[in-house]
Amino acid sequence: MSTQIAPASIDHARRIEELGKIILAYSEVTERLQMAHEQLNHTVRKLQIELSEKNLQLERKNRLAALGEMAAGMAHEIRNPLGGIQLYASMLDKDMADRPASQQLVRKISGGVKRLEGLVSQTLQFTREIAANAVEMDIREILDQSVDFASASLQAREVACEITGPGAMTVLADPILIGQAILNLILNASEAISGGGTIKIELRKPPAESNAKQFHLVIHDSGPGIPPHVLDRIFNPFFTTKDHGTGLGLAIVHRIVEAHDGSIVVTNPPGGGARFEIRI
Ligand code: ADP
């Protein structure tokens, strides 16, 4: 005689099975939700970092524009009286032909005026609009050329320059301006290194998700790095810590990168030195 299973216990077993399925589905959904939440958190964090970087860049851009305008105004104001001083000094120079000691003093005035005129014309050049004339160019070739141009400074300071990245890379940019920016960064790096060191230059294609479309360039030196309290001022025109610096080098680099719709970031990485990263 076969044993009969009571309909009530069949029902009970089915319910338990269904409950099991519901719990499983529930935990799958929870797991998926958890993953989506983590992904969302990651994206928000990335966007927050990007936003604060963009805010810093915008702040710097506004500050540089205001400083540039002020410098241009001052340079124009200084240029006219300088012309007059130069003219009177040369007249005095002729009058002093029979008094060599006084003539020496007048010539010192002329020398000072000439130096000031040099600074004024550099300032006016800096404040003029920089427009990139973008053409197809090999960025690696420009990089090699810049290292070549800097070779006297590199050799004098016993600085080795190592370039990594593709042997050729065609990009759309202004070769003269990009060359000038790279050269400025290499010369600064070489001046920062005293008693031998290395400049590592890394060239690469930007990853697909990057805002940059042309190239990424990192110039990292083995110098002392940039003192943290001046880090946010080094792109300001006329900011210099050097006895004979003009403080226009990095301001010009910044304007060149900007003219290419790119960005430049400077850091003191944990391993030491200063690291400039250009994304164009
Ligand atoms: P200048 O070279 O005439 O001083 P820059 O605008 O090129 O003007 O540089 C501004 C300042 O930034 C420098 O005086 C220096 O203090 C700092 N700086 C630039 N590059 C580096 C570097 N690679 N390492 C350390 N400090 C640097």
Ligand 1 near 188 CB (within 6 A): yes
pLDDT, one tens digit per residue, over 120-140 is: 887 887 777 788 999 999 999
Q: Is 274 in the pocket of ligand 1 (CB under 6 A)?
A: yes
Q: What would the pLDDT profile of 244-269 be if each residue is shown by its tens digit? A: 788 889 988 998 999 999 999 999 99
CA 228 – ligand 1 centroid, Å: 13
CA distances to 32, 63, 84, 182, 230 from 192, rounded to whole Å, are 52, 26, 39, 15, 15
**Is the pLDDT reported for residue 102 higher than 80?**
yes
Work out which ligand 1 atom sits closest to the CA atom of 221: 23
Q: Which of 183, 188, 276 to mutate to test the pocket of ligand 1 (most atoms within 8 A of CB)?
A: 188
CB atoms within 10 A of CB 258: 18
For residues 4-14, average pLDDT = 76
What is the band of 116 on the pLDDT scale with cuts at 50, 70, 90? confident
Q: 179 CB under 6 A from ligand 1?
A: no
Q: What integer pLDDT is reported at residue 88 of this predicted model?
A: 93
Closest among 126, 246, 134, 266 to 189, alpha carbons compared? 266
Q: Whole-model pTM above 0.75?
A: no
Which pLDDT score is estimated for 4? 61
- Ligand 1 centroid distance, CA of 201 (Å): 17
Cα→Cα distances 190→162, 184, 239, Å? 13, 10, 18
pLDDT score of 53 = 84
Q: Give the closest residue (by CA) to ligand 1 atom 23.
A: 189
Residues 257, 181: contact at Cβ < 8 Å? yes
Q: What digits encode the pLDDT tens for the residues 48-93?
A: 998 988 888 888 778 778 877 888 888 888 888 998 999 999 999 9
Between the CA of 234 and the centroid of ligand 1 the distance, in Å, is: 7
b/e sequence 213-232, b meaning 16+ C-beta within 10 Å = ebbbbbbbbbbebbeeeeee
* pLDDT value for 6: 67
Ligand 1 atom 11: the closest Cα is on which residue? 240
Give residue 238's pLDDT: 85
CB-ligand 1 contact for 234 (6 Å cutoff): yes
Amino acid at 233: R
For residue 143, how many other CB atoms are within 10 A of its CB? Answer: 24
**Exposure letters 43-54 (e unless 16+ CB within 10 A, then b):** eeeeeeeeeeee
For residue 245, give the ligand 1 atom closest to its CA. Answer: 3
Beta bridge partners of 218: 202, 277
Q: Provide the percentage of residues in the chain whose pLDDT is more than 70.
A: 98
pLDDT of 5 over the 80 cut: no
- For the chain, the average pLDDT equals 90
Band of pLDDT at residue 2, cut at 50, 70 and 90: low
Q: What is the mean pLDDT of residues 111-119?
A: 86
CB neighbour list of residue 256: distance below 8 Å, 6 or more residues apart: 130, 132, 174, 177, 178, 180, 181
Question: For residue 223, is pLDDT > 60?
Answer: yes
For residue 104, the model assigns a pLDDT of 93
How high is the pLDDT of residue 70?
A: 85
State the pLDDT at residue 155.
94
Q: Mapping DSSP to helix (H, G, I), strand (E, B) and coil, where does residue 172 land?
A: strand
Q: How far apart are the first and last CA of the chain?
A: 86
